[in-house]
Amino acid sequence: MTSQFLNETTFERESENSWKGNLNENWNIGSIPNGGYLLAVVLRAMQEQIGPKNLLSANAHYLRPGVTKEEARVESVILRKGSSISTCSASLAQHGKLSLQVLAAFGDLQNTDNGLAELQLKSPSLPPPEECQERSSATQGIELPIQKRVDVRIAQLEKDSDRAELYGWIKFCDSTAVDTLALALFSDAFPPSIFSKLGKVGWVPTVELTIQVRRIPREGWLMGHFFTDDLQNGTMIETGRLWDSGGYLVAQSRQLALIKSSPEN
């Protein structure tokens, strides 16, 4: 089976440093492409330029929303190509205006024991995916075309906490294996955690997103935990973590997002 994620994040390469293509509407939240999807499109081009290396970290700044069914262009420059780590800077633009600026590092992830004791966060204890609630348009009050591509299940847990927390599971609908670029998408594919505390507060567009990839995921569902403990001045900071089916922490993320009543163009 051909991967929908691979097909719909791969643009046509025009030159050593540029790509073009159309953003796919099946990754939308409402009428706007998901921020993690936009990031994956840019990272795919960067990875093609660097070669067969895994994503290690990415920092993305969102300047304006993407537009589906209209041509987008990615420009990427290799800042340093090293034997162990290579770094790129890239952007995505539409109609001559920047939508996304990304700085990312790529390298080797072998998931091997180097003799050092590991220190990592343990995965939470959750009900299995089939006992969790499917993410739905009804619960979020907005159409979710992204449900055709990503299966998200929300765990209903009793938590006595001052922060807004969300736990759940995630995988591709076509059961595509999750690579390190998919971890960047999945880090921004759950509902905003603030909804668990305040309900549907409006549109929550990402301003800045940072992701660190820790391991190559094992096959199967990934477990997610996202929380917000800082909401003020119309912005929120959300921390996220993803674990694979073996209980290994595979990615961490942190993002700054706005709280808006409706999407901006």
Closest CA to 99 of 55, 53, 61: 61
- Please report the pLDDT score of residue 255 as a whole number: 97
Q: Report the distance separating Cα 45 and Cα 55, nearest Å.
A: 12
- Please report the pLDDT score of residue 114 as a whole number: 58
Domains in the chain, start-ordered, CATH in brackets?
4-108+130-258 (2.40.160.210)
- Judged by DSSP in three states, 143 sits in coil
Please, which residues have CB within 8 angstroms of residue 2's CB and are 6 or more apart in sequence?
none
- Please report the pLDDT score of residue 202 as a whole number: 65
Would you state the structure tokens that stand for residue 143, as one six-digit string?
């159409």
Q: Scanning the structure block, which residue is given the tokens 């997103």? A: 209
Q: Report the distance separating Cα 36 and Cα 51, nearest Å.
A: 21
Q: What is the pLDDT along the chain (265 residues), one digit of tens a residue?
A: 689 999 999 999 999 999 999 999 999 999 999 999 999 999 999 999 999 899 999 999 999 999 998 899 999 999 999 989 999 999 999 999 999 999 999 999 876 555 555 777 899 999 999 999 998 777 677 889 999 999 999 998 766 667 899 999 999 999 999 999 999 999 999 999 988 877 766 678 999 999 999 999 999 999 999 999 999 999 999 999 999 999 999 999 999 999 876 554 3
CA end-to-end span of the chain, whole Å? 36
Q: Report the distance separating Cα 189 and Cα 140, nearest Å.
A: 13
**Cα 33-183-100 angle, rounded to 5 deg:** 40
Would you state the structure tokens that stand for residue 127, as one six-digit string?
């009900």
Q: Report the distance separating Cα 209 and Cα 184, nearest Å.
A: 9
73 neighbors 20 (Cβ within 8 angstroms): yes
- Please report the pLDDT score of residue 201 as a whole number: 63
- Please report the pLDDT score of residue 96 as a whole number: 94
- Please report the pLDDT score of residue 260 as a whole number: 78
102 neighbors 60 (Cβ within 8 angstroms): yes
144 neighbors 150 (Cβ within 8 angstroms): no
